[in-house]
A and B are shown apart, each in its own frame.
Chain A
Amino acid sequence: MSILIDSSTRVVVQGITGRDGSFHTRAMKGYGTRVVAGVTPGKGGLDFEGTPIFDTVREAVEATGADTSVIYVPPAFAPDAVREAADAGIRLVVAITEGIPAMEMASVFQEIGMKGVRVVGPNCPGLISPGKCKVGIMPAEIHRQGPVGVVSRSGTLTYEMVHQLSAAGLGQSTCLGIGGDPIIGTTFLDALTLFREDPETEGVVLIGEIGGTAEEEAAVYIRETLGKPVVAFIAGQTAPPGRRMGHAGAIISGGSGTAAEKVAALEGSGIRVARRPSEIGPLMREALG
């Protein structure tokens, strides 16, 4: 088992002919992901290295039975790409695009709320269930199949952590980057709920960063409901207040959202917090007993 994606997942790539879209489509196919269709408006009828291209997601779904979409289109068009996927009956939308106006995403989430679609991101690396399916941009070769679920607000920091886990002999059930924006479709709580229900996941690594209160909320859920061990890491111990640290969501404002507060909330809930990335493996091993 795994969460959200597995070997039966059928993927449509929105923006398949762009620089990033084409590069990562090749990588996903190389990993064994069933990329059944691509969408680039105006290029319907052509194909991308054997994968049929459609003008719209609706046509792609009708022709190929795609159930999951991954979005590589620029910020000005990405919100409509999410709407389009939701309207076409896609079950899981993974929005890689960085730099989408937060207000636009707030509107999109309100609109598609009733459609039963799950959005991961935006501004995220996507997700991978090692050995089964990859929908996103992460380097696949660092992953190993196994019992640890990984959920993170970051992209490349997740790779570092996965790399550490794999090196410690701890494989992963699913690794999920939820994105660095203030408004995202899948939160820590959503991801933890999914990991709770997944029998293959025995423990979870949670990678947070400064800004917001998502880690504090996750701490409460982990303590009261999750029932599986968690090891956490929080980036931004040395971040200066009031400065946005790259991610739109990573900012200490009005004295709240600091790394110290988050570490205190997690440890206060009995969760092990790694002080540096290399501690993740040993702490997870210890937690799994």
Chain B
Amino acid sequence: MDVHEYQAKAIFRRFGIPVHEGELARSPAEAAEAARRMGGTVVVKAQVHAGGRGKAGGIRLAKTPEEARGAAASILGLQIKGRTVKKLLITPASDIDHEYYAGIVLDRGAGRPLVMVSREGGIDIELVAKDRPDALKKLHFDPARGLRGYEAMWLAASIEDDSEGKKAIAGILAKLARTFVACDLSLAEINPLIREKDGGYLALDAKVTVDDSGLFRHPELAELRDLEEEDPDEDRARSQGLSFIRLEGTIGCVVNGAGLAMATMDLVKHFGGEPANFLDVGGSSNPEKVVTALDIITKDPSVRVILFNIFGGITRCDDIARGLVKALEMKPVERPIVVRLTGTNEEAAREILAGVSGVQSEGGMEEAVRRAVALAGAGGRVSA
């Protein structure tokens, strides 16, 4: 789960990482007021779950409250990578002496968190990593042991020469590592970490991604989810234990298992169709999940066909079949449903679905996908 910069900074502050106190604004008037309270030059920053805010015009400097009002008016409503800006963070402007990079990711290959620092911050760190790997210093650490003081110092000393500065950066890195572990993060990034002209160090930006699987033990972080940024159907699906992502095609897919769901979408595309969604009903599917899944999919008017591809394991085919029958009883679906159910309890499922009108069964995945594509008609894509 991504959180906004202002939320990430609140988390950082809780763990003692220096950040500017800022204020959230939802309108130009609120932005002007915040700027007036702060006095001096401020930065008006779009709060949206998308990278490249600066390049897209989502970050502006304002010398007066009136300028802040104007900047806010131009940023609010801006589309950045398909997302609309609805919130702004107003912070005092910094007198920047130098920009560094500090970040921690969960390194899948090593199975441990990886701290990365660079003398060159404020730029695309992936480019630095690719073009000049020497400019990036890296160190893994064991989450149970934490990043030790000497390790943080070793990293800090590689990007700062000043004696007090090294200590300040090492302190920030140690706190960042503590935040990373304590909050179950998969990414914590300060880009840039800055030295101000007066010699202070602080996190000018903050980027945090929380491991979804860790949210159950951090209810305070789960509350940070910004429902305005999310598709309401995706949110509803998640609350029911479904994994759903809306796409732009005409074939609604109900699949168990993420890998099979992706492979089903790929096959739909292979045969000339377009999937309307990714949907994994998950393991141990109870019939209610199928009811919800079908409800979400059929709400989309561009869906012409619904395709079930279920390979039972921990998911039992009869549960899926019961859910489908129940959903159809509650609300008829005026579109063809192609069903492929195989694996655990498939016989029972077949009996349940025998004679249910509007449901066409296929034995194999490829046959089912072909049939769904044919029913959806040529040119399955719906223009936005």
- Chain A residues at the B interface, C-beta cutoff of 8 Å: 19-20, 24, 27, 75-76, 96, 98-107, 109-111, 125, 137-139, 142, 152-160, 163, 180-183, 207, 209-210, 212-214, 217, 233, 235-240, 243-250, 254-255, 275-278
Q: Is the CB of A109 within 8 A of B109?
A: no
Contact of B366 among A217, A255, A277 (CB under 8 A): A277
Complex Cα spacing A180 to B260, Å: 12
- Is B133 on the interface with A (CB-CB < 8 A)? no
Q: Is the CB of A110 within 8 A of B142?
A: yes
Chain B nearest CB, measured from A187 CB (Å): 8
Q: Is the CB of A250 within 8 A of B262?
A: yes
Q: Is the CB of B211 within 8 A of A156?
A: no
A102 and B186 in contact, given A137-B313, A160-B311, A240-B245 (Cβ under 8 angstroms) = yes
Q: Is the CB of A155 within 8 A of B269?
A: no
Q: Is the CB of B262 within 8 A of A239?
A: yes
- Is B266 on the interface with A (CB-CB < 8 A)? yes
A102 and B270 in contact, given A155-B259, A156-B313, A209-B262 (Cβ under 8 angstroms) = no
- Chain B residues at the A interface, C-beta cutoff of 8 Å: 106, 108-109, 111-113, 126, 142-145, 181, 184-186, 211-214, 216-217, 243, 245, 247, 255-263, 265-270, 275, 278, 280, 282-284, 311-315, 342-344, 365-366
Contact of B108 among A75, A155, A182 (CB under 8 A): A182
Contacts of B270 in A (CB 8 A): 275-276
Complex A-B: 21 CB contacts under 8 Å: A75-B216, A101-B184, A101-B217, A103-B113, A103-B211, A104-B184, A106-B112, A139-B311, A139-B312, A154-B259, A155-B260, A156-B260, A157-B262, A163-B342, A181-B213, A207-B259, A244-B243, A249-B108, A250-B258, A276-B267, A277-B366
Q: Is the CB of A110 within 8 A of B112?
A: yes
How many pairs of A and B residues are in contact by the CB < 8 Å rule? 186
Q: Is the CB of B211 within 8 A of A102?
A: yes
Q: Is the CB of A247 within 8 A of B258?
A: yes
Contacts of A75 in B (CB 8 A): 213, 216
Can you name the residue of chain A whose Cβ is closest to the Cβ of B185?
A103
Complex Cα spacing A105 to B181, Å: 12
Complex Cα spacing A98 to B216, Å: 13
A24 and B211 in contact, given A106-B106, A246-B243 (Cβ under 8 angstroms) = no
Can you name the residue of chain B whose Cβ is closest to the Cβ of A275?
B270
Complex Cα spacing A99 to B282, Å: 11
Contacts of A246 in B (CB 8 A): 243, 257-259, 261-262, 278, 280
Chain A nearest CB, measured from B246 CB (Å): 10
Can you name the residue of chain B whose Cβ is closest to the Cβ of A254?
B126
Q: Is the CB of A238 within 8 A of B258?
A: no
Contacts of A245 in B (CB 8 A): 243, 245, 258, 261-262, 278
Complex Cα spacing A137 to B283, Å: 10
Complex Cα spacing A267 to B280, Å: 29
Complex Cα spacing A181 to B216, Å: 17
* Chain B interface SS verdict (over half): mixed
A159 and B245 in contact, given A101-B213, A106-B111, A238-B275 (Cβ under 8 angstroms) = no
Chain B nearest CB, measured from A137 CB (Å): 4
Chain A nearest CB, measured from B267 CB (Å): 6
Q: Is the CB of B143 within 8 A of A277?
A: no
Q: Is the CB of A103 within 8 A of B181?
A: yes
Q: Is the CB of B269 within 8 A of A217?
A: no
Q: Is the CB of A213 within 8 A of B109?
A: yes
Q: Is the CB of B106 within 8 A of A103?
A: yes
* Chain A interface SS verdict (over half): loop
Task: Rank and list the top 5 A-B pairs by shortest CB-CB distance, nearest first.
Answer: A154-B259, A246-B258, A156-B257, A157-B259, A101-B214
Complex Cα spacing A109 to B245, Å: 32
Chain A nearest CB, measured from B107 CB (Å): 9
Contacts of A109 in B (CB 8 A): 111
Contacts of A214 in B (CB 8 A): 108-109
Known contacts A155-B257, A244-B243, A245-B243, then 7 further A-B pairs from the complex at CB < 8 Å, ordered by chain A residue? A103-B184, A110-B145, A137-B313, A154-B260, A183-B106, A238-B266, A240-B247
Can you name the residue of chain B whose Cβ is closest to the Cβ of A102?
B211
Q: Is the CB of A106 within 8 A of B245?
A: no
Q: Is the CB of A159 within 8 A of B143?
A: no
Complex Cα spacing A255 to B313, Å: 33
Chain B nearest CB, measured from A207 CB (Å): 7
Q: Is the CB of B142 within 8 A of A157?
A: no
Q: Is the CB of B216 within 8 A of A103?
A: no
Q: Is the CB of B259 within 8 A of A76?
A: no
Complex Cα spacing A235 to B181, Å: 31
Chain A nearest CB, measured from B104 CB (Å): 11
A99 and B217 in contact, given A107-B142, A276-B366 (Cβ under 8 angstroms) = no
Complex Cα spacing A238 to B278, Å: 10
Contact of A248 among B181, B211, B278, B315 (CB under 8 A): B211
Complex Cα spacing A76 to B143, Å: 18
Chain A nearest CB, measured from B185 CB (Å): 8
Chain A nearest CB, measured from B222 CB (Å): 13
Complex Cα spacing A76 to B217, Å: 8
Q: Is the CB of B213 within 8 A of A277?
A: no
Q: Is the CB of B263 within 8 A of A157?
A: yes
Q: Is the CB of B143 within 8 A of A210?
A: no
Contacts of A247 in B (CB 8 A): 258-259
Chain B nearest CB, measured from A10 CB (Å): 23
Complex Cα spacing A151 to B187, Å: 29
Complex Cα spacing A155 to B282, Å: 11
Contact of B213 among A27, A236, A248, A250 (CB under 8 A): A248
Complex Cα spacing A111 to B112, Å: 12
Q: Is the CB of B144 within 8 A of A239?
A: no
Contacts of B142 in A (CB 8 A): 106-107, 110
Chain B nearest CB, measured from A234 CB (Å): 9
Can you name the residue of chain B whose Cβ is closest to the Cβ of A250?
B258
